[in-house]
C-alpha cells in the first residue's frame, strides 16, 4: 500500500500552500517535512533530489516531484479534479494561470519594506477588484453552475477559494460587489473536506508574520524590499 504523500518545504505558505489545499480537497492525508535551516535545504540539493535546486518537492507514487504547477496538475489529474475532457482542462488551466498572477502579488507582500506595505496592499486590492475578481464573477454568472468548470469541483475552484481568502486578508470586504463570488465562497467552504481544512489545527498555514519571515529569510536568503513594484515581475523565489 502506498504511503502518504510527503511534502518537503518550510513551515509557511509559499508555493506549497496550494498543494496542501488541493490534497485536502481530494481527501488525501499527507506528511510534511518542514526544514528549519538553510543546511537542511542544501542537503536536499546536494542529495540530487531537487531538479532545479528549488522547493517545493512532493514525494508521491514513488516520485520526487518538483515545480509547483507540475505537482498540482498531477494531483488534480490523479484525484479527478482536472475536468472530464481537454476542453475542461483548458478552461481550468486558463483560470488557474490567471489566478496565479494575483496570488503571487499577495504571496510576496511580506517581502515589502514596512513603509511600502500600505501602498502594495492598495495596489493588490485595486487589481483584485478591477481586473481579477470581475473575471470569475462573470464566469460563474455566465456558466450558471455551482463551479467554474463543468458541474463538479475542480482544481480551479479550490484555487479560487484559496485566493479569495488571501485577498480578504488584504481587505476584508473585497467581495462586497461580487454576489456570485460570495455565494461561491460560502458554498465551497462548506464542502466537508474543505471545511475540515479551514478548521484550526489543520495543515493550512497562516499568513507570514515577522517570525516566519525571519525563518524563511534564513533558509532562502531573502531580503526585505524584494517585493514587486506595480508589475507582475517577481524578484524572489521561495
- The model carries a pTM of 0.90
Measured distance CA(184)–CA(164) in Å, rounded: 10
Measured distance CA(63)–CA(3) in Å, rounded: 12
- The cell for 61 is 507514487
How does pLDDT run across 14-68, given as a tens digit for each residue? 999 999 999 999 999 999 999 888 898 888 888 888 888 889 999 999 999 999 9
Measured distance CA(26)–CA(36) in Å, rounded: 28
How does pLDDT run across 118-174, given as a tens digit for each residue? 888 899 999 999 999 999 999 999 999 999 999 999 999 999 999 999 999 999 999
Q: Are strands 31-34 and 63-66 parallel, antiparallel or unpaired?
A: unpaired
Number of domains in the chain: 1
pLDDT value, residue 79: 97
Measured distance CA(207)–CA(223) in Å, rounded: 18
**187 has a pLDDT exceeding 60:** yes
Tell me which residue range forms the domain holding 127. 86-191
In a domain? residue 27: no
In a domain? residue 226: no
In a domain? residue 67: no
Measured distance CA(122)–CA(187) in Å, rounded: 28
Which residue, 73, 130, 69, is CA-closest to 102?
Answer: 130
**How is residue 28 annotated by DSSP?**
-
| CATH code of 167's domain | 1.20.1050.10
Amino acid at each position: 500500500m502506498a504511503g502518504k504523500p510527503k511534502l518537503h518545504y518550510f513551515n509557511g505558505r509559499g508555493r506549497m500552500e496550494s498543494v496542501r489545499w488541493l490534497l485536502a480537497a481530494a481527501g488525501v492525508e499527507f506528511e510534511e517535512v518542514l526544514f528549519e535551516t538553510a543546511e537542511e535545504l542544501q542537503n536536499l540539493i546536494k542529495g540530487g533530489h531537487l531538479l532545479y535546486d528549488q522547493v517545493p518537492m512532493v514525494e508521491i507514487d514513488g516520485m520526487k516531484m518538483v515545480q509547483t504547477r507540475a505537482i498540482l496538475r498531477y494531483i488534480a489529474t490523479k484525484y479527478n479534479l482536472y475536468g472530464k475532457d481537454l476542453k475542461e482542462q483548458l478552461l481550468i488551466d486558463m483560470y488557474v494561470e490567471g489566478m496565479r498572477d494575483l496570488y503571487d502579488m499577495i504571496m510576496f507582500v511580506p517581502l515589502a519594506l514596512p513603509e511600502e506595505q500600505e501602498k502594495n496592499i492598495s495596489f493588490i486590492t485595486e487589481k483584485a477588484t478591477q481586473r481579477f475578481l470581475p473575471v470569475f464573477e462573470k464566469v460563474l454568472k455566465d456558466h450558471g453552475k455551482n463551479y467554474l468548470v463543468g458541474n463538479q469541483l475542480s482544481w480551479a475552484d479550490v484555487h479560487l477559494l484559496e485566493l479569495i481568502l488571501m485577498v480578504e486578508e488584504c481587505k476584508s470586504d473585497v467581495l462586497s460587489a461580487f454576489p456570485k463570488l460570495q455565494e461561491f465562497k460560502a458554498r465551497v467552504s462548506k464542502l466537508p473536506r474543505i471545511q475540515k481544512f479551514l478548521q484550526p489545527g489543520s495543515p493550512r498555514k497562516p499568513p507570514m508574520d515577522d517570525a516566519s519571515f525571519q525563518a524563511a529569510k534564513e533558509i532562502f536568503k531573502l531580503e526585505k524590499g524584494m517585493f514587486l513594484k506595480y508589475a507582475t515581475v517577481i524578484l524572489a523565489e521561495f
